[in-house]
Amino acid sequence: MTPTLAQRIQSFYDESSGLWEQVWGEHMHHGYYGLDGRDRPNSPQQAQRILIEQLLAWSGVEAPASILDVGCGIGGSTLYLAAKYGASATGITLSPVQAQRAQARAEVHGFGERVEFQVADALAMPFADASFDLVWSLESGEHMPDKTQFLQECCRVLKPGGRLMIATWCHRDLAAQEALSELEQRNLAELYRLYHLPYVISLADYGAIARTLPLQDLRTADWSRAVAPFWDDVVRSALNPQVLWGIVTAGWKTVEGAFAIPLMQDGYRTGLIRYGILSGIKQ
């Protein structure tokens, strides 16, 4: 990562993660509302847990003994997976605040030395080849300035026979006659600025990259309809006066992030923003 981008991402999550945890809890990702988006879980937090379970079922994850969570946030998925499978797990993030909070949560929940968190760059991970049974990345690919290197690194640290599971923000697939319009490009550029993203690509582009890697049983799917209602829940939570005050007092980057919410809603409504998932087994 270029230092400027890495510092922006770090600062954004250093500043906003505490408020997110206060309002939403441990999981910093979309929820799942049924494949058609019509299910209504008891809470947004339940929808987030359901998403994890649905991704595990769809990708065929069985019983990994060692897990890497790339872009771990405050350790929500890392701890969930470690508890579910009785596995050792490592989470990496660019944010020292997130890593420290995740480690503190691991200790509170009694994971001891079985779970650890590090500040590390996903494009140059500090792990040996073939280190993990499951490499899991839940909504961090959109932050990667080199999508090819990102997938290459995830594949490198995966053991032969291990499973790769990636869920990430995408833009719509592009046919030769359907280039992004000027309005779509402007909307994406604004999202990039507000959420500190270098760029996003289509799910088809991710699939093309993955096909250059030693992966078999490669699968992709578009779950945009299943996760789009999440942003309506975000809006409802943000209308709480205490949450609004928390956004304002957290810092300017958090305020800017709130401005992106209607852009995400509109992006899902128009089909510009897509939620792509990809899974494969290393040969």
Q: Where in the sequence is the domain holding 41, given as residue range(s)?
A: 3-282
Q: What is the pLDDT of residues 94-117, one digit of tens each?
A: 999 999 999 999 999 999 889 999
State which amino acid sits at residue 254.
Answer: T
Q: What is the pLDDT of residue 236?
A: 83
Question: What is the reported pLDDT for 69?
Answer: 98
Range 146-158 burial, b when 16+ CB lie within 10 A, else e? ebbbbbebbbbbb
CATH number of the domain at 204, please: 3.40.50.150
Query: Where does residue 189 fall: left (phi above 0), alpha (psi -120 to 50 degrees), or beta otherwise?
Result: alpha
- Flag whether pLDDT at 199 surpasses 80: yes
Q: Position 240: which residue type?
A: N
d(CA 209, CA 276): 14
pLDDT at 251 over 80: no
pLDDT of residue 112: 82
Q: What is the DSSP string of the chain?
A: --HHHHHHHHHHHHHHHHHHHHHH-S--S-----TTS----SSHHHHHHHHHHHHHHHHT----SEEEEES-TTSHHHHHHHHHHT-EEEEEES-HHHHHHHHHHHHHTT-GGGEEEEE--TTS-SS-SS-EEEEEEES-GGG-S-HHHHHHHHHHTEEEEEEEEEEEEEEPP--TT-PPPHHHHHHHHHHHHHHT-S---BHHHHHHHHTTSSEEEEEEEE-HHHHTTHHHHHHHHHTSHHHHHHHHHH-HHHHHHHHTHHHHHHHHHHTSEEEEEEEEEE-
| 158-171 and 273-282 beta bridge pairing | antiparallel
- Cα separation, 238 vs 246, whole angstroms: 9
Cβ-in-10-Å burial (0-12, 13-18, 19+) of 223 comes to buried
Whole-structure pTM value: 0.94
Provide the pLDDT confidence category of residue 2 given band limits of 50, 70 and 90: low
Q: Are 133 and 64 in contact (CB under 8 A)?
A: yes
- Alpha carbon 2 to chain centroid, angstroms: 20
Q: What percent of the chain has pLDDT over 70?
A: 93
Domain count, the chain: 1
Mean pLDDT, residues 205-234: 97
Q: Is 205's pLDDT higher than 70? A: yes
pLDDT digits (tens, 9 = 90+) for 23-36: 888 999 999 999 99
Q: What is the pLDDT of residue 271?
A: 96
69 phi/psi in degrees, rounded to 5: -105, 110
Structure confidence at residue 252 (pLDDT): 57
